[in-house]
Amino acid sequence: MSFKADWDASRRTYLLRVLAETGWAANESVLFDAAQAVGFQADTRETIRADLDRLRDAGCLTQRWAGDLLVAELTPRGDDAARGRIEVDGVKKSVWRPASER
Distance CA 2, CA 78 (A): 24
Q: Write the pLDDT tens digit of every residue in 19-50.
A: 999 889 999 999 999 999 999 877 788 999 99
Please indicate, yes or no, if residue 38 is contained in any of the structural domains: yes
Q: Is 35 within a domain?
A: yes
Nearest 5°: phi and psi at 75? -105, 165
Residue 94 is classified by DSSP as P
Residue 22, domain member (yes or no): no
Amino acid 26: pLDDT? 96
- Number of other CB atoms surrounding residue 80 within 10 Å: 18
User: Which residue, 67, 58, 63, 69, is CA-closest to 19?
Assistant: 63
Structural domain boundaries enclosing 60 = 30-84
Task: Give a yes or no: residue 52 inside a domain.
Answer: yes
Instruction: Answer yes or no: is 89 within a domain.
Output: no
What does pLDDT average to over the chain? 91
pLDDT in tens, 1-21: 799 899 999 999 999 999 999
Tally of domains in the chain = 1
